[in-house]
Structure 1
């Protein structure tokens, strides 16, 4: 294992130094390891030593990049939120025609296995309930996700004034997130229903010509 600042070599090769791992890569590896540990073990049980080791570093790398375990938890959630929004933004474009929007939504919400992501979100939600000091960060990140989905919804409908969502756009965006989250949550009881299919069915059922 290594920490972010890797030492110089000694002996015959002491004139050569071992390349330092870029800081951005160190953070990304720690965030990935942290997300996996929190989802599988829970925030309370996950140990920083184990997270650092899984990322290939010593514990010092954690404190070189995050001020505390709580800071790591918050950054893990922010990374997860950003990954979801980037995935949606890559697929949901304003030039998508109404006839194709169902298939695009189906791909956007169903392109990845969300079980690990939802396990992490569930643990972070429980952690926020048990640790009220973390709740504002949890709320901030969830609002960021909802705001991102609302922005996509407003942008697409602005480009397609001939279509009617049948309800306020903010409500429609909230339903999209809720349908996805609810389907993932209840997947074991729904014969592993695909969230993409459920959300796409909602979109196709609601959108109508004006």
Structure 2
């Protein structure tokens, strides 16, 4: 072929479509960021879409409404917390190691970001009573999930006396975590994961 021959035209290949599962995950991640930064009420759908790199239409192709997106972001946040705990908390963990396992679980997640998001969900539920049952459902799922893990571990260690009903212990652990993160500004240097791990270690006593 002569060097003077014109270049062959470049084929106009179509841009590959982003898999739907990836689109949805990016929208959920963006939603969590925008809701935490701007508040659920003030956050705009087009801002969530832009943060994820899509048009507003992508949001409504994956979620029926803003409230549906909020609910799914909340579900994702719950799943992330429980997923981290379920990966680490196993029945065969020795009593001397359980505190370190709790510390490791807390170290996997940004507590400040999670609490900012939780606070926005709680405030939104207070101002929109029709959304409160959805908020309660997700919080109940978290409590039930933590209780399941507590029962799993103590059930495998009948020689350990928690000193209280396991339901109360689960509630106390979650309440301690939420309370410490809530008061973080007034408790500089206090690590909620360290405190919760210390509570676990305090109740792990031989019968």
Name the structure 1 match of 2:20.
23
Match of 1:51 in 2: 48
Instruction: Write the distance in 1 (CA, Å) between the matches of 2:41 and 2:165.
Output: 40
For 1:83-98, what aligned pairs fall within 5 Å after superposition?
A: 83-98=80-95
Corresponding position of 1:185: 182
RMSD (Å) for aligned C-alpha atoms: 1.2
- The residue aligned with 2:108 is 111
Task: Return the alpha-carbon distance in structure 2 between the equivalents of residues 65 and 129 of structure 1.
Answer: 26
Structure 1 Cα separation of the partners of residues 45 and 179 of structure 2: 31
Runs of 4+ in 1 over 4 A off after TM superposition: none
Q: Unmatched 5+ residue regions in structure 1?
A: 1-10
Q: What is the Cα deviation at residue 138 of structure 1? A: 0.2
Larger Rg computed on CA atoms? 2
Q: Which of 11, 17, 21 is matched with 1:13 structurally? A: 11
The range that moved more, 31-40 or 104-113, is 104-113
Q: Given the two structures, how large is their TM-score scaled by the length of structure 2? A: 0.93
Please tell me whether the aligned partners of residues 110 and 195 of structure 1 are also in contact (alpha carbons under 8 angstroms).
no
How far apart are the structure 2 equivalents of 1:84 and 1:112?
8
Task: State the match for 1:4 in structure 2.
Answer: none
Residue in 2 that maps onto 1:130: 127
CA contact (8 A) 1:110 1:194 kept: no
Q: Which runs of 5+ in 2 are unaligned?
A: 1-8
The TM-score normalised by the length of structure 1 is 0.92
Give the 3-state SS of the residue equivalent to 1:13 in structure 2. Answer: coil
> Aligned residue for 1:168?
165
Give the distance between the partners of 1:142 and 1:189, measured in 2 at CA: 25
**1:90, distance to aligned residue in structure 2 (A):** 1.1
Tell me, in whole angstroms, the C-alpha distance in 1 between the residues paired with 2:80 and 2:109: 11
* 1:7 aligned partner: none
Distance 1:155 1:136 in 2: 28
Query: Which of 181, 198, 202 is 2:199 aligned to?
Result: 202
Q: Is structure 2 residue 137 aligned with structure 1 residue 140?
A: yes
Does the Cα contact within 8 Å between 1:109 and 1:199 map onto a contact in 2? no
Give the alignment partner of residue 40 of structure 1, picking from 32, 37, 41.
37
Residue 18 of structure 1, CA deviation: 1.2
CA shift for structure 1 position 67: 0.3
Q: Contact 1:34–1:72 (CA<8 Å) still a contact in 2?
A: yes
- Count matched residues: 199
Partner of 2:4: none
3-state SS of paired residue (2:93): coil
